[in-house]
Structure 1
Amino acid sequence: MKPSDAQSRLDCVAATTTVARFAIASNVLPRITQAVSVADRFHKTLVTYADKHLLKNTGIFTGLDSEKQPLANHQHTHIFCELGDQRDAIGYITLYAPGGFDDEAQTVIEDVQRSRLWGKGDHDIHLIPLGFGDEQTFLSPLFAKSAKWRSVTPFVSTQHLKTYGDGRPKLDAHGWQQGSAAASLLQQLEKDPRTAGLLKVAGLKKLQSIEVRRGLHLRCFQFQTRRPDGGGQRGNGDCGAFTLEFQQEIQGPLAIGYGSHFGLGLFVPISDT
């Protein structure tokens, strides 16, 4: 969706505001392979502005409670980078908080557009606000419903690969090495109430590459798969790209694994056309 397509939506605020969306502009746009770095920078900027505004509920951006412990249930802000019109360049940044952005949080988000998002030595990223809303407000594949999904950024395991004493891999019931990206993804799908018990038999398939745009494929090793500050629980770094097929449609967004609040482990629907 181009910025001009969103003008009629600029003043649209849902009863519960869960989404804020920006287009971005820069002399040199960052690539989708840098999504985790862009999201991490946006996250730090949000936290800085939340402190300036003396925000009461800082957890909506930090993901931490008053005791600095991680919040449960993933209700705080996710930061998703999406392709624009230029090859593999990021064109949009979407903030999503299932728990909702209250008025104070929205003020912080509105103020962030005045910040220089990218750091020293890089090209400035200018934020163009497209408005607030919910999962139905913006025409983004992230918020679609589908039974078939594919990776758009790598899924990164938070576990370590398991082996026997002689070096042989320990396999799970599905034949994947325990601790691998595939085995970890299956476990996390079973923990998520939206997807538990719904994956079809053999509904997970590993891909050799990620198709970021029709005819344009990138390998997982081309993506940044660690937050710049090393934050978050991370295992041996095994990562992969996958397709998923469920027994029924799943409501997006679907983001799983390490860095899922920073754009990693992100899936989009597979078109049948």
Structure 2
Amino acid sequence: RRLAESIPYFGRADSICTGGIATVWGSAGHAVWKPLDITDHVDDYAESTSVLAPDIPLVVGTLLARPAEVRRGGLRFPVGSRLVTYGLERPTTAMLTAAAPRPVRTVTAVRFDLLHPALPPDNEALIYTDLLRQAAIKQLGENAAGTMLGGRTSDNTPMQGGMHAHYLPVLRDRRLTGLVVWAPGVLSDKDLIALCEIRALYDYKRRVQVRVSGVGMMEQVAPEFVGPARTWCAVTPFTPARYPKKNRDEWRNFVVKEIQRELELRGRERADDVQFVGGPWTAFVRHRPSARMRGDKRQGQAHLPAEFLRLRFTQPTRGPLTLGWLSHFGLGLFAPEG
């Protein structure tokens, strides 16, 4: 039991596996493989194979190196390891049976924790959600098209219906403590592999280490965004996605109409009351640095003013609730109250 509990992972360091102890396992009929000594001849065995094993004493630092780090050093295997040849001494006589199918685990969210002594302020949240998307696309490489993370179909047209990935900030005490990738349309294995490979978010001005801290359904990974609740308060400022009509739309009435329109687009109940609570929205970054770098002023920049709002519904409503311009990057994010 101590041996099973001490296994940190199976195979690659980013694998997600479970281990267990068989209490009713019978030894009869199983194959027997023997580690070969220098005096043994491989030809004396029906089959042989090589197993990578550590040298004794253990060189822990090099044995825990990631495969990419080992390759960069010009090596195939880490320092402190060796190949041990095993010979098949007795083949199995037991009949092979198919394993019982396991239920498929649906994953809609991946949570990251920021590993940094000085956490970024909450008003820079959009910078880091944009960096997270860039890191995910970089991990996907040429396979980015047709994924929830990229938000584009296989023919490179934008996905419709809002089912692709949202990159959301986790804020506490005016600081960015984590990030959540949420895809209502379910994350594929390709998406998950790319996300679990991310170790840092960086650009020419900043670098932050991150680690995956949760994988699963949104209500499991980030329950603070789910509710349900009748009252939802803005965590980041809401910016309308459309422009008001000149000489016709009074600003606050226009904002309320936009909130109701956004809720209806997402198939949600209309808000019974929309309250303007005030807040320092001008201090918040409201542009995607990656879009600004490539000169995309239309998609990556919020041009209209913003508002901090409190929404009240007649019935408890489930989240996540993200509305308005750049809502896929954490603007217009609401959290349940009470």
Name the TM-score class by shorter chain: 0.7 to 0.9
Partner in structure 2 of residue 184 of structure 1? 258
**Larger RCO: Structure 1 or Structure 2 (Cα < 8 Å, ≥ 6 residues apart)?**
1
- d(CA) in 2 for partners of 1:60, 1:27: 31
Bigger-Rg structure (1/2): 2
**3-state DSSP of counterpart to 1:137:** helix
Does structure 1 conserve the Cα–Cα contact (< 8 Å) formed by 2:230 and 2:315? yes
Residue in structure 2 matching 1:143, options 215, 222, 226: 226
1:18 is aligned to 2:18 = no
**3-state DSSP of counterpart to 2:288:** coil
Does structure 1 conserve the Cα–Cα contact (< 8 Å) formed by 2:145 and 2:155? no
**3-state DSSP of counterpart to 1:43:** helix
Give the Å deviation of 1:150: 0.5
| 1:121-176 CA-partner distances (Å, limit 9, x unpaired) | 32x21112113110232353112211110000001112223223xxxx434xxx84
Give the Å deviation of 1:42: 0.7
One-letter amino acid of the structure 1 residue matched with residue 123 of structure 2: T
Give the Å deviation of 1:14: 7.5
| 1:98-123 CA-partner distances (Å, limit 9, x unpaired) | 1111212111111112xx3122232x
**3-state DSSP of counterpart to 2:308:** strand
Partner in structure 1 of residue 211 of structure 2? 128
- d(CA) in 1 for partners of 2:111, 2:303: 33
1:199 is aligned to 2:286 = no
Partner in structure 1 of residue 281 of structure 2? 220
Q: Residues 58, 141 of structure 1: CA spacing in aligned structure 2 closer, same or farther, 3 A cutoff?
A: same
**3-state DSSP of counterpart to 2:286:** coil
Q: Residues 34, 231 of structure 1: CA spacing in aligned structure 2 closer, same or farther, 3 A cutoff?
A: farther
1:37 is aligned to 2:127 = yes
> Unaligned 5+ residue runs, structure 1?
1-9, 210-218
Deviates more, 1:254-263 or 1:60-69: 60-69
Does structure 2 conserve the Cα–Cα contact (< 8 Å) formed by 1:159 and 1:236? no
- d(CA) in 2 for partners of 1:243, 1:14: 38
Does structure 2 conserve the Cα–Cα contact (< 8 Å) formed by 1:232 and 1:258? no
- d(CA) in 1 for partners of 2:161, 2:246: 31
Q: Residues 261, 139 of structure 1: CA spacing in aligned structure 2 closer, same or farther, 3 A cutoff?
A: closer
1:156 is aligned to 2:257 = no
Q: List aligned pairs for 1:2-151, cutoff 5 A.
A: 15-51=105-141, 54-55=142-143, 58-84=146-172, 87-113=173-199, 116-122=200-206, 124-138=207-221, 140-151=223-234
Aligned length: 233
- d(CA) in 2 for partners of 1:18, 1:240: 29
> Unaligned 5+ residue runs, structure 2?
1-15, 19-102, 292-296
Q: CA RMSD in A?
A: 2.4
**3-state DSSP of counterpart to 1:232:** coil
One-letter amino acid of the structure 1 residue matched with residue 135 of structure 2: T
- d(CA) in 2 for partners of 1:183, 1:240: 13
Partner in structure 2 of residue 214 of structure 1? none
Partner in structure 2 of residue 252 of structure 1? 319
Give the Å deviation of 1:199: 2.0
- d(CA) in 1 for partners of 2:163, 2:271: 23
Does structure 2 conserve the Cα–Cα contact (< 8 Å) formed by 1:158 and 1:233? no
TM-score between both structures, scaled by the size of structure 2? 0.63
Does structure 1 conserve the Cα–Cα contact (< 8 Å) formed by 2:180 and 2:222? no
One-letter amino acid of the structure 2 residue matched with residue 70 of structure 1: P
**3-state DSSP of counterpart to 2:202:** coil
- d(CA) in 2 for partners of 1:27, 1:92: 13
Counting aligned pairs with the same residue, the percent is 21
